[in-house]
């Protein structure tokens, strides 16, 4: 029996990236995790908190060109081309879905410390853009792959909010986890790319955790104001 593909999954770049996402990704953040566990008291069931979330998310990932578009322009590996094209096309649909939910959710909720929050959001957006446009070989690709992996969690939250708003969720056509494994472990010269890919992955997760922490802080500020 040929065990090389299994060994690749166990020891390749994909393992490191998936471990990062599983350990540091959105699903582990205390503000996000209750939604995934079906807690109806979670922020996604509160239209004010969900409106805050969707506006912030659009600020980070609703722009054109977006992270994956930039990453495609800064990735030289031919082996990643098909995956990136698939992700670009699918994320166009996700962007439309985000904007639709943003309109339905209404304006950004009034929250103490709005100016400081706007500064933080702008800094996060800039950091993500820099990662996606990094000239360090592999960094932009690692950032794009991690966004798609993270989106599996974010999409669950979008769908909860959509149903709360009376909107039927649309199908997500982004590449799946198995596609990410195949892409990362199929890259040539992995020893030259691994550290940069992991750096891009880690730094995007830092920005996402910052997003959840900011949302949690803002929700607490609104509760205190009442």
**CATH number for 167:** 1.20.910
Q: What is the pLDDT of residues 104-157, one digit of tens each?
A: 999 999 999 999 999 999 999 999 999 999 999 999 999 999 999 999 999 999
Q: Provide the whole-model pTM.
A: 0.93
State percent of the chain over pLDDT 70. 95
Query: What's the domain range around 205?
Result: 4-225
* Measured distance CA(11)–CA(217) in Å, rounded: 38
Q: Could you tell me which of 88, 198, 76, 82 has the C-alpha nearest to residue 139?
A: 198
* Measured distance CA(67)–CA(143) in Å, rounded: 8
Length of the chain: 226
Q: What is the pLDDT of residues 26-64, one digit of tens each?
A: 999 999 999 999 999 999 999 999 999 999 999 999 999
Residue ranges in 3-80 assigned as alpha helix (H) = 4-11, 13-24, 33-36, 47-61, 67-73
Number of domains in the chain: 1
Q: What is the pLDDT of residues 178-197, one digit of tens each?
A: 999 999 999 998 889 999 99
């Amino acid at each position: 029996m040929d065990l090389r593909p299994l060994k690749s999954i166990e020891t390749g770049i994909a393992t490191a990236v998936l471990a990062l996402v599983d350990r540091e990704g959105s699903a582990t953040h205390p503000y996000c995790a209750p939604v995934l566990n079906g807690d109806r008291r979670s922020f996604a069931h509160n239209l004010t908190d969900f409106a805050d979330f969707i506006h912030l998310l659009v600020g980070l990932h609703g722009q054109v060109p977006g992270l994956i578009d930039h990453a495609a322009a800064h990735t030289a590996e031919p082996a990643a081309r098909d995956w990136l094209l698939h992700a670009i096309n699918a994320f166009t649909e996700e962007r439309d879905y985000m904007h639709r939910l943003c309109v339905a959710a209404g304006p950004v909720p009034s929250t103490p410390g709005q100016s400081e929050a706007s500064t933080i959001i702008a800094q996060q957006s800039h950091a993500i853009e820099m990662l996606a446009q990094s000239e360090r070989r592999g960094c932009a690709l690692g950032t794009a792959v991690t966004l798609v992996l993270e989106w599996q969690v974010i999409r669950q939250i979008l769908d909860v909010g959509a149903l709360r708003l009376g909107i039927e969720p649309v199908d997500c056509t982004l590449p799946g986890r198995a596609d990410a494994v195949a892409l990362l472990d199929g890259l040539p010269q992995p020893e030259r790319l691994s550290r940069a890919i992991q750096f891009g992955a880690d730094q995007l997760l830092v920005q996402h955790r910052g997003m959840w922490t900011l949302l949690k802080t803002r929700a607490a500020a609104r509760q205190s104001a009442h």
